[in-house]
Amino acid sequence: MIKLVKLKGAMFMKDIAIIGAGVVGCSIARELSKYKLDIIVLDKNEDICEGVSKANSGIIHGGFNEKRDSLKAKLNIEGNQMIEKLSNDLDFKFKRNQALVLAFNEEETERLNYLKQNGEAIGVSGLEIIEKEEILIMEPNINKDVKKALYVKSSGIVSPYEMTIALAENACENGVEFSLGSEVIDIKKHNDVYEMNLENGQAIKSKIVINASGLAGAFINNLVSSKKYEINPVKGEYCLFDKVAGSLCKKTLFQVPSKLSKGVLVTPTVDGNLLLGPNAKANNTILTSREGIDEIIQKSEKTIKSLPLNRVLNTFSGLRPKTKEEDFIIEEAFDAKNFINVIGIDSPGLTAAPAIGSYIVELIKDKIILEENNNFKFNRKGITKFNELSIEEKNKLIAKNSSYGKMVCKCELVTEGEVLEAINRPLGAKTVDAVKRRTRAMMGGCQGVGCMITIGNILSKELGIDISEVNKNNKDSNAIGFKEE
């Protein structure tokens, strides 16, 4: 097991400090770990992927909607082309399930023609406008009022947190240090070295700082640079259905996009659920609303009329870090040498993340010596998925380790062995939600009612803490909420 860094009194000097342990920060960390560098990733949360990256659509976008000559367009296409190999190397699920952008009237049909032309101009391959008959053969549950669709063959789906965890674990195995629960509250520059002061009173020095801090991106930049940015969070709410509803469609079904978002979609997830959303509201809270959920259901019924609302498992929301620039901001601050901003990474940030990692390498290659790490491990093996094994494989595993014969989550068929793996891996789970993201325990029909206390007990034993100290996510979010005297 690789331990997280616990910063103590001494000042640490690093080659590179990355602020933010979301999919972008972890992609950058993994790419930079290909070189002999002393790298640390800082994040205010107690686990990776606790911010923007954990709550989005999980779509690997084709890129047809991005503006020509924008960073979003360039990095979307490059990231899309990288994702299949990355998923094989790092053992996370990816499906090239393709997408349809649906038009229900003449105005929307005209918009499809523009989207096709725009996509082709920026290098998206495999775009085709298809007629109603072909649409309904592909997806018979689509609203029969559909006229035409843009068929996007390069689109796909992933689990955003599974992808982020895979990138982070591989970066960690390749020598990157992670300090979680380490919120940067101030940055000073002394003789070309940055000193980052943390909320816990500790500090780190670094030659290069990469600001990939999501919603805090403007705050971190504004500590250092006279060029000020502003993040305007846009909330997107989602409605998650169970796996019974997951067979309603195979492809990701978009409606014609608006200026604020790519529109409310209906999509299968890589784990077999059905997902609706998001809407787009200027808001800085992740609380869902009755009004917002009603909105996405109503809009989704334009795509599929008879949604099985009795199969809704959960609702959630996420925030997108939009800026007025309307493009990714990936550059060195003009008045702060070696301070690299990676901010305003809203959609298609998940798709672009692997390409952003490569882009950062190009950006800093003249700022620091990049000597190849000959011991770099390209591959990472994910947590055992007991339910996906054959009978013979299951029996062999149980004979070797009996904890795989103890079922913890009966809804998702997750064993004690998998929970123990999640806790004892590189960047191992320290909270109930961290176990959930790594194993899918508590993601089924009972939403943790039947297994959360069992998981809390396992965490308590493995971490050497009382069960009352087991947290849901961040500190002071007690999951169980009692202590036996």
Q: Are 240 and 309 in contact (CB under 8 A)?
A: no
DSSP 280: -
d(CA 419, CA 440): 10
The 10 Å Cβ neighbour count of residue 75 is 26
**What is Dmax (Cα atoms) for the chain?**
69
Q: Are 161 and 21 in contact (CB under 8 A)?
A: no
d(CA 154, CA 79): 11
Q: Are 293 and 241 in contact (CB under 8 A)?
A: no
d(CA 94, CA 353): 15
Which phi and psi angles does 415 have, rounded to 5°? Answer: -95, 165
Q: Are 270 and 159 in contact (CB under 8 A)?
A: yes
In the numeric block, the tokens 């793996």 are attached to 421
Strand pairing partners for 90?
none
In the numeric block, the tokens 């250092």 are attached to 224
Strand (E) or helix (H) holding 30: helix 23-32
Burial class (CB in 10 A: 0-12, 13-18, 19+), 128: exposed
Classify each residue of 384-399 as buried b or exposed e, where b means 16 or more C-beta atoms within 10 Å of its C-beta.
bebeeeeeeebeebbe
Question: Is 190 noted as a catalytic residue in this protein?
Answer: no
| Nearest CA among 140, 231, 146, 185 for reference residue 42 | 185
The 10 Å Cβ neighbour count of residue 481 is 9
DSSP 183: -
The three-state secondary structure class of 95 is: strand
Which of 14, 30, 44, 61 is the catalytic position? 61
Enter the tokens of residue 122. Answer: 């920026």
DSSP 311-360: GEEEEEEEEEEE-TT-S-EEEE-TTSTTEEEEE---TTHHHHHHHHHHHH
d(CA 443, CA 485): 31
CA 172-54-445 angle, 5° bins: 115
Length of the chain equals 485
Give the strand pairing for 148-152 and 193-198.
unpaired
Instruction: Give the active site residues.
Output: 61
